Structure 1
Amino acid sequence: MPTNRSVAAIVSVMNEEATIVSVLEQLQRLPLNEIIVVVNGSRDRTLEKARQHSQAMIVYYPDPLGHDVGRAIGAKLSHSDILLFLDGDFAVRAEDLVPFIHAVDQGTDIALNNITPYLPSFSHWDSVTIMKRFLNLSLNRSDLHANSMTAVPHAMSRAVVEQIGYSELMVPPKAQVRAIMAGLRIAAPASVNVVSKNKMRKNNRGMDNPVARMIVGDHVEAVELAMQHTGNRLNFPDKVRKRQYTRREAACR
């Protein structure tokens, strides 16, 4: 492990009996201080398999919480200096997780997954990717491209979570806005292909599917939050209209 600081891996899972063991096996290859698995809404053997194959802290909720709420709960329960967030739908090699931990150890506040190499040309982007890119542009962070706290794996320091608030992790784009507005160091130091490996489910298939609508809605909330800080036009100033003249006209009347 490229750090002397304590590290926690937080995994939010629902109905992942086919993959949870391989996810935990990769995490157990790292000398982590904590592994926290938040099992929620599962109707299969995810909980049983997690118990059988790991000494992780396992938190169980019978109702579905959503991955983001699960991550927020895991972060709240952890005690480590560096928090690494994953999902349970496919295993990421331990070697591919190390760069995120290393980046935070070296001073990055939030280390995002750089999905840029796996995206198609812009004309084939979906609504979620467009919203991710728009939010970063709106906050003058074009360097982040379409990278977002919505995607895993990503890592951050505990100090960041305490600064922006654990509850903000429930809506990752809002957490990203708060982090950017606070001037925190955000980078995308490594790439894990979650685009092609994303498990297809009934609720994330096709155009305008429920998951896409939820994530787009998350970004609408984030844009609204950004507007409260930067103004209605965000990072897009109006350099054409001379609006002050109409205000003077109204004052003369």
Structure 2
Amino acid sequence: MEALPLHEIVIVLANTNEEIYSLARNHKNMIIAYLPDEVNPDVGRALGAKLTGADTVLFVDGEHPVHSDILARFLWECDGRVDIALNDLTAQMGLFNRRGESERFHEFLNRSLNREDLSINCLSSLPFAVSRNALDTLGAAAFTVPIKAHALAILNGLKIGTGGSASNRNSNRLIASKQNWQIAAGDHVEAWTEAMGTRGSRLDFTDSVRNRSVLGDWEQ
């Protein structure tokens, strides 16, 4: 991170040990948010976004280091080109029948919001970068549910593209447990609910098969 032109680094430590806390304090321009209890990582990142006033905010996972050359690409894309630079995972997605459930969710969401060009790429996959315009439009709290923030970004007409390409098998692994499956499904339901509230129940897709006019007063 110190190889990048960053004005400040915000690190959120939740229920960590003294050794890690001491290491973080030794870095320059470091803002540390220490939480005594363990929290959802997405909540921690949303808190970190709220604590910074930077023009561009780079979201990374401290447990999965990425080379600075790759991270620099995200910053470059957000420098007047896009509002959100996503992690480009298209080269890793493989055949449809071999993809994880999360990847299928992500691609279906993008296609349903007329952004099939984004493929499986979304705000659920780290790293990514967002502009100050994107943060002010969505609000830092929106990033507590990244996939909902992703849908909101599309609905608000923000410029969304890809930055670098970092391996992210952890974020796109098979949703093995029933609990993880329910959480992922619930997050996507929130995203689609938000979209349908803006674009209608058909998400602006016309029904070219059914003749709904015959319903008369029953048509909704």
Global fold match (TM > 0.5): yes
Shift of 1:212: 4.2
The CA RMSD measured in Å over matched residues stands at 2.3
Match runs of 1:1-253 below 5 Å? 27-42=1-16, 45-52=19-26, 56-195=30-169, 198=170, 207-247=176-216
What residue ranges of structure 2 are gaps of 5+ in the alignment? none
The equivalent residue for 1:22 is none
Q: Alpha carbons of 1:221 and 1:43: their partners in 2 closer, same or farther (altered >3 Å)? A: farther
**Partner secondary structure for residue 133 of structure 2:** helix
Distance in 2 between residues matched to 1:121 and 1:44, nearest whole Å: 44
Distance in 2 between residues matched to 1:212 and 1:37, nearest whole Å: 28
Q: Alpha carbons of 1:121 and 1:235: their partners in 2 closer, same or farther (altered >3 Å)? A: farther
What residue ranges of structure 1 are gaps of 5+ in the alignment? 1-26
How many aligned positions are there? 219
Code of the aligned partner of 1:32 = L
Distance in 2 between residues matched to 1:55 and 1:37, nearest whole Å: 11
**Partner secondary structure for residue 203 of structure 2:** coil
Distance in 2 between residues matched to 1:128 and 1:81, nearest whole Å: 30
Distance in 2 between residues matched to 1:141 and 1:205, nearest whole Å: 23
| Superposed CA offset, 1:124-181 (max 9, x none) | 1222111111111111000000111011110011121111111111111111122111
| Superposed CA offset, 1:85-144 (max 9, x none) | 001111101111011000010320000001111113100122211111111111100000
Shift of 1:59: 0.8
Would the aligned equivalents of 1:35 and 1:56 in 2 still touch at CA under 8 Å? yes
Q: TM-score, normalised by structure 2?
A: 0.90
Would the aligned equivalents of 1:40 and 1:65 in 2 still touch at CA under 8 Å? yes
**Partner secondary structure for residue 60 of structure 2:** strand
**Partner secondary structure for residue 63 of structure 1:** coil
